[in-house]
Amino acid sequence: MDAGDLKIFQAVAREGSISKAALSLNYVQSNVTARIKQLETQLQVPLFHRSNRGMSLTPAGENLLGYADRILELLYEAEQATQVGNPPAGMLRLGAIETAASTFLTPLLAEYTSCYPEVHHSLVTGGTHELNQKVIQYELHGALIYGPIDHPELNYMKMYDEELVLIAEPGVHEMYTLLSRPMLFFEIGCTHRTQAESFLNDQGIHTLNIMEYGTLDTILNGVSAGLGVSLLPRSSVTKAELRGEIAVMSLPDPYCRLEVGFVYSRGEHISSALSALVEIITEPEL
């Protein structure tokens, strides 16, 4: 197995067909087919399911793709590292809790891209635990999560403080009449859900009626329609409040406190692309 084999395998996995991969690589189609068969023979396991609709990865292929991505990226970084004076370039895979993706990370990435156009970034959203695991497993270079955290495999930098607020449909302003209503949250393990349970327990409410909604927009729409209430960071609900779609109520201290930070792996070589992002994140505001 060499880097050329992995590059061809990666292209077929991404494109879903031999012909499209050959076109993207500017290779002869028969050469791509032969190299894939050679790789499968060497590993003694099929890497693709083949059908009239194209090619999809087997479980073994999915495992290999994760390693192929990391190996090829490290090879690219190694090449870049030898070029003194080169600006940051390559891939930067990032994650973020959904409530921070649009309000904080997207504007920051716009600034970053204008400074480093040779860096190609991707962004996924998820819960704090899920994102931490993706960073630990090298699926992401870094992620914006709820903190603080103390983990032996992660570096953590505090970014900013958030205020957690209770939201309900318009016209409702008495917080304690809302606490028995269904609570709309993202998923099990959601930081807001954990703080809600603690808050409600202190109010004598020990059974939560949870409704799991997949995205911020669906939660806001559900609350606006009167399906329940939710606890969300104030910055993520301000626009909906200004449009008159929800009512927002402050929580008592300490339940209103949220901290957002950035994590990246302690065990991974810090690429120039990630180093540049960390530098922008830690720059003091003028």
Domains of the chain: 3-81 (1.10.10.10), 90-161+259-282 (3.40.190.10), 163-255 (3.40.190.10)
Instruction: Provide the angle, in degrees to the nearest 10, between the axes of the packed helices 3-15 and 29-43.
Output: 110
Among 38-47, 111-120, 210-219, name the one with the lowest average pLDDT. 210-219
Confidence of residue 84 (pLDDT cuts 50, 70, 90): very low
| C-alpha dihedral sign at 74, 129, 252, 185 | positive
Asked whether residue 208 carries a pLDDT value surpassing 80, the answer given is no
How far is residue 100's CA from residue 106's CA, in Å, rounded to a whole number? 9
How far is residue 28's CA from residue 39's CA, in Å, rounded to a whole number? 17
Asked whether residue 177 carries a pLDDT value surpassing 80, the answer given is no
pLDDT at 192: 65
Confidence of residue 286 (pLDDT cuts 50, 70, 90): very low
Q: Cis link prior to 284 (omega < 30° from 0)? A: no
Tens digit of pLDDT for each residue in 44-83?
Answer: 999 999 988 889 999 999 999 989 988 887 786 676 555 4
pLDDT at 142: 92
Average pLDDT over residues 258-281: 83
Distance of CA 185 to the CA centre of its chain: 17
pLDDT at 40: 93
Asked if 136 and 153 touch (Cβ cutoff 8 Å), the reply is yes
pLDDT at 273: 84
Asked if 28 and 16 touch (Cβ cutoff 8 Å), the reply is no
Asked whether residue 7 carries a pLDDT value surpassing 70, the answer given is yes
Average pLDDT over residues 155-177: 85
Average pLDDT over residues 259-267: 87
pLDDT at 269: 65
What six digits make up the tokens of 87? 């600006």
